[in-house]
Amino acid sequence: MYGKSLLLVSEPSLGADETAALADVISSNWITMGGRVAGFERAFAEAHGVGDAVAVNSCTAGLHLALSALGIGSGDEVIVPSLSFVATANCVIYTGARAVFADIESLERPLMSLADAEAKLTPRTRAVVVMHYAGSVADAQAWRDFASRNNLFLIEDSAHAVGQDRGPIFGDLAVFSFYGNKNMTTAEGGMILGRDKAVLERTRRARAHGMTSTTSERLNARAASYDVLSLGYNYRMSELNAALGLAQLPKLAARNAKRRLIVQTYAEAFGKRPSGLRLPLLGHAPSAHHLFPVVLPQHADRSTVMSSLYEQGIQTTIHYPPIHQLTWFRQHCPGVSLPVTEAFGARQLTLPLHPKMSEADAEYVAGSLLQLLATLAGSGT
Catalytic residues: 182
Give the integer Cα–Cα distance in Å for 296 and 283: 19
Element counts in the chain: helices (H) and strands (E): 14, 9
For 1, other C-beta atoms within 10 Å of its C-beta total: 11
Give the integer Cα–Cα distance in Å for 61 and 59: 5
Q: Residues with Cβ < 8 Å from 356, sequence gap 6 or more?
A: 11, 13
Asked if 172 contacts 70 with a C-beta cutoff of 8 angstroms, the reply is: yes
Q: CA torsion 252→258→262→268, rounded to 10°? A: 130
Q: Residue 120 burial by CB count (10 A; 0-12/13-18/19+): exposed, middle or buried?
A: middle
Q: Residues with Cβ < 8 Å from 237, sequence gap 6 or more?
A: 33, 37, 40, 55, 56, 57, 186, 189
φ, ψ for residue 75, nearest 5 deg = 90, -15
Q: What is the DSSP letter of 137?
A: P
Q: What is the DSSP letter of 88?
A: H
Give me the helix-helix angle, 35-47 and 239-248, nearest 10°: 30
Q: Residue 159 burial by CB count (10 A; 0-12/13-18/19+): exposed, middle or buried?
A: buried
* Residues in a beta bridge with 129: 155
Asked if 104 contacts 280 with a C-beta cutoff of 8 angstroms, the reply is: no
φ, ψ for residue 278, nearest 5 deg = -110, 145
